[in-house]
A and B are shown apart, each in its own frame.
Chain A
Amino acid sequence: MAMSQSPLTEQQALYQYTLRMADNALILGHRLSEWCGHGPFLEEDIGMINTALDLLGQCRMLYSYAGEVEGKGRDEDDLAYHRDEREFTNFLIVEQPKGDFAYTTIRQFLVDVYNLYLYTDLCESKDQTLAAVAQKAIKETRYHVRHTAEWVKRLGDGTEASHEKMVTALDEVWRFVNEMFEMDEVDQLMLDAGIGVDRAKIKERWLTKVDEVLSEATLQRPVESYTRRGGRQGLHTEHMGFLLAEMQYVQRCNPGLAW
């Protein structure tokens, strides 16, 4: 295929690129926050919500920057609370319902490890703002991985019941993982500009780390079967609309409300 001129400008690609990372952080953080007051016990409840708050903090920095790059005067709240489902660009994996604690744990672990290498590489970005966001986020992410990896091992190598639940959760979530490593036009443009990361390189390290923890947890990585994709094009699973309805409710009813 002949190289065709990309219809995207670098500014448009940077906006999309930043927005996607913000959407992933917001939606994953929201799913985690659904455990608030429902954690398996008090200490873990607080621990999970700390992570949810870290993700919320990351999405705020990214939304603010996306709004700035876009240049249409939209702020973090406009982007988080006044866009519709088809305009959200997060991966399908982060919008899946929280499920049981095994599902939440394995999904969080897989995305935490992805974030670990994403932010590690993004620290080298030529875009000063993204590099600064990554440098802040990487510290938080290292802790998130440490926390969820412990739980994967504890549950996988725990009782027969906890092991079974982890096997089921892993099988259930696996069809969503590969979307995180697919490069599209926006990714390529950002990579060529020295701003974005190479997802193939992230995947290599992701697999090594995931395999290492799964093996300690006496769990096996499922074989890659087929990949569900579409999040970045705004084609979401049936759960996304319900999530947004709840998350955006207050701002939709009272636009601009502050407290």
Chain B
Amino acid sequence: MVEQYLPLWEVFVRSKRGMDHKHCGSVHAADSEQALQYARDVYTRRMEGNSIWVVEAKHIVASQPDDQQAFFEPSDDKVYRHATFYDVPADVKHM
């Protein structure tokens, strides 16, 4: 039995060339090579991707629920910051 948990790693997979890496889950692993292998085994066994990033979860700095007001609410009334006043040509994908 494993009583001590291995470090947690966040996994990002890129599904296609030209697309960006998307967070898809996490794995436990002892080091970066093992994390990469487990990410491959757990998240890409059904042709989901062609590139993987792993990063140890402790290195991710995340905003907190308490930051909600200060961080995000000020942009609520500034719709002009969105590029919604332009027509996006039909050929442009992934916008």
Map CB proximity to B onto A226-258 as digits: 1 under 8 Å, 0 otherwise.
000000000000000000000000000000000
Query: How many residues of A are in contact with the other chain, CB < 8 A?
Result: 13
With an 8 A cutoff between CB atoms, is A41 at the interface? yes
Provide the bound-state CA to CA distance between A50 and B46, in Å: 11
Number of A-B contacts (CB under 8 A): 29
Map CB proximity to B onto A22-47 as digits: 1 under 8 Å, 0 otherwise.
00000000000000000011111011
List residues of chain B with CB under 8 Å of any chain A CB: 2, 6, 27-30, 33-34, 37-38, 40-42, 45
With an 8 A cutoff between CB atoms, is A147 at the interface? yes
> Across the interface, do A43 and B29 meet the contact criterion of CB distance under 8 Å?
yes
> Across the interface, do B41 and A41 meet the contact criterion of CB distance under 8 Å?
no
If A150-B33, A154-B30 touch, does A40 touch B41 (CB 8 Å cutoff)? no
If A41-B28, A150-B33, A154-B30 touch, does A47 touch B38 (CB 8 Å cutoff)? yes
> Across the interface, do A147 and B28 meet the contact criterion of CB distance under 8 Å?
no
> Across the interface, do A43 and B41 meet the contact criterion of CB distance under 8 Å?
yes
List residues of chain A with CB under 8 Å of any chain B CB: 40-44, 46-47, 50, 143, 146-147, 150, 154
Provide the bound-state CA to CA distance between A40 and B34, in Å: 14
Identify the closest chain A residue to B40 (Cβ).
Answer: A143
